[in-house]
Amino acid sequence: MRKVAILGLAICAALTANAQMGAKFEQYYMDFSMVNPAAMNAHKDGHISLLGNRMFSAVPGGPQQTVLNFNMPVPSKNTGYGLFYMRERVGFSEMHNAYASYVYSVPLGGTTNLNMGVSVGALRQSFDLSKAIYMSGNDDIIKSLMIAPPVTRADLRASAFINGDNWFGGLAISRLSNPTFDYTYYQYTATYQLQSQSTLLLGANLDVGGDLVIKPSVLVSGYNWDYYRVQFNASAWYQDKLWIGFNANDIGQIGGNIGFKPQPDVRISYSYVTPTGSQRVALGNTHEFHTFIGFSALGGGSRNSGSGSGDDGSDNTNGDGSDNGEDGEGGANLNRTGGKGGNGGAGEDGGNNGGTFNPDRSTVTVFSIEDLRKAGLGRDTSLLKLQDVPKVKPGPGFYLVAGLHTSEAKANKHVKDLYKKGVIAFKFYDPTNKSFYVYLKDFATENEANKGMFYYEASVPSVWVREIK
């Protein structure tokens, strides 16, 4: 009976560990691809996420998770590639999860995309009974499990994620292969099948004005389609630099989270969760740290707005209104003495309207990207008057795009936000998907556009190439 009891405890510990595996992240909202791999294609650039937590701190051997999540979306090819690793320790059980993921995106019109992913990987479990409390160290079962080699099983995951301009939703299912673990020692056998896991993710980004965005989301986790867990979070983000939020779940635990951006494309956050009622003393609190690092933050080219050659996608604009960039397009001359505005250059992109500059009021009316280049950086964006663009198909070429929007007002805000960061951009309208694109430069060939991406990768990490035929 003693052997059976100890073996039963080992099985229960394993089942408890795997019930948590891959699903209990307090800060799932910081990187949705941790719980739904297909969500990686909702990003325009690659990134790495690091997560570590300690659950139920008052319980000896309480769950601990360490996560490394690597994503590399390729927007120009509608594909994405990812690697995911997680180690979870519960009691004297340890599980390693490793997956490689492939994601393909299908545009559904406008800014809506359906992303579908498949992941293949392996689960490796082992026991360390030196960390267990047992009745007899001479028990044969204890001795066998202490020297038993880890067991490895293959696994398969499927995921789907749909996202629009300010909303998203996703469904993911793991352990489709129904991996079974078995441990045998003489006549003693322990066999169990891991639970399948499914996650339903829903959320939105609500711009309430004043540089404040509210981001509510809910994550429902199911096990064997039999029982469920529900997590909820709502965070308030200020200028996409600072945020604070509230989170709760269906088992009476509540908490908060806080985070900041120490530099562009790097996010650091912390979450604290505490049980309520009688659970509080028995279980203890949960602490979780998360770090999001975009690839642009790891290095790359820097932007020098003072000069540059056309070969690397930069522009050299002279004070007389001429443009020596690679494409040779004419720019609109500005009369900086308050007189009559000059005519546009002779290139295809040159406009005859010209931008007007009034030194008395320091306002600039902008009709094209050339106008903004001539106006120069460092102005108050409230004095930049961005004119509406014609709702006609732009000229053919390969455009370096920093974002797309369903409304021109949002495109204008994006242009001004980039201007504040020292980046000149403008917009065009594409009637094929009824969207406004914010772009940095256009090129004649895809190869030239890809080279140009490196010029902007430090200042605009989300840039991608959009072909107009």
Would 216 be classed as within a structural domain? yes
Q: Is the pLDDT of residue 29 over 70?
A: yes
What is the predicted pLDDT for the residue at 463? Answer: 84
Residues 327 and 355 in one domain: yes
299 burial class (0-12, 13-18, 19+ CB within 10 angstroms)?
A: exposed
Residues 184 and 217 in one domain: yes
Contact 40, 103 (CB under 8 A): yes
Would 304 be classed as within a structural domain? no
Residues 225 and 321 in one domain: no
Contacts of 356 (CB under 8 A, 6+ apart): 334, 335, 341, 364, 365
Contact 388, 423 (CB under 8 A): no
Parallel/antiparallel/unpaired status of strands 363-366 and 384-386:
parallel
Residues 87 and 126 in one domain: yes
Would 288 be classed as within a structural domain? yes
What is the predicted pLDDT for the residue at 323? Answer: 36
What is the predicted pLDDT for the residue at 280? Answer: 67
pLDDT band at residue 434, thresholds of 50, 70 and 90? confident
Would 234 be classed as within a structural domain? yes
Say which CATH number the domain at 333 has.
3.30.70.1070
Percent of the chain, pLDDT > 70? 73
Smallest CA-to-CA distance from 328 within 348, 342, 312 is with 348
Would 305 be classed as within a structural domain? no
Asked which of 298, 329, 356 is the last residue of a domain, the reply is 298
Cα distances (angstroms) measured from residue 341 to each of 25, 333, 357, 372: 58, 7, 8, 14
pLDDT in tens, 341-385: 333 333 333 333 444 444 435 688 889 888 888 888 888 888 888
Q: Is the pLDDT of residue 330 over 90?
A: no
Contact 213, 237 (CB under 8 A): yes
Domain span at residue 362 reads 310-468
Say which CATH number the domain at 187 has.
2.40.160.40
Q: Is the dihedral of CA 272, 277, 279, 284 positive or negative?
A: positive
Hey, is 94 helix, strand or coil?
strand
Residues 137 and 217 in one domain: yes
Smallest CA-to-CA distance from 284 within 6, 41, 22, 58 is with 58
Lowest mean pLDDT segment, chosen from 10-24, 44-58, 247-261:
10-24
Residues 292 and 318 in one domain: no
What is the predicted pLDDT for the residue at 309? Answer: 33
Would 303 be classed as within a structural domain? no
Residues 243 and 137 in one domain: yes
Lowest mean pLDDT segment, chosen from 179-183, 269-273, 310-314, 436-440:
310-314
Residues 258 and 178 in one domain: yes
Would 286 be classed as within a structural domain? yes
Q: Is the dihedral of CA 90, 126, 192, 3 positive or negative?
A: negative
What is the predicted pLDDT for the residue at 296? Answer: 73
Asked which of 278, 298, 318 is the last residue of a domain, the reply is 298
Q: How many independent structural domains does the chain possess? A: 2
Smallest CA-to-CA distance from 386 within 363, 420, 404, 403 is with 363
Contact 157, 174 (CB under 8 A): yes
144 burial class (0-12, 13-18, 19+ CB within 10 angstroms)?
A: middle
What is the predicted pLDDT for the residue at 106? Answer: 92
The C-alpha atoms of residue 374 and residue 389 are separated, in whole angstroms, by: 18
pLDDT band at residue 129, thresholds of 50, 70 and 90? low
Asked which of 276, 298, 320 is the last residue of a domain, the reply is 298
Q: Is the pLDDT of residue 310 over 80?
A: no
Q: Is the pLDDT of residue 292 over 90?
A: yes
Q: String of b and e for 119-136 (b: at least 16 CB within 10 Å)?
A: bebebebebebeebeeee
Q: What mean pLDDT is predicted for residues 59-79? A: 89
Q: Is the pLDDT of residue 141 over 50?
A: yes
Q: Is the pLDDT of residue 318 over 60?
A: no
Residues 250 and 197 in one domain: yes
What is the predicted pLDDT for the residue at 185? Answer: 57
pLDDT in tens, 447-465: 888 888 877 776 787 788 8
460 burial class (0-12, 13-18, 19+ CB within 10 angstroms)?
A: buried
What is the predicted pLDDT for the residue at 145? Answer: 61
Q: What mean pLDDT is predicted for residues 311-336? A: 34
Q: Is the pLDDT of residue 305 over 50?
A: no
Residues 333 and 227 in one domain: no
Residues 426 and 459 in one domain: yes
pLDDT in tens, 416-428: 989 988 889 999 9
Q: Check residues 139 and 457 and name the one with the higher pLDDT.
A: 457
Contact 333, 342 (CB under 8 A): yes
Would 35 be classed as within a structural domain? yes
Q: Is the pLDDT of residue 338 over 80?
A: no
The C-alpha atoms of residue 410 and residue 429 are separated, in whole angstroms, by: 13
Residues 237 and 334 in one domain: no
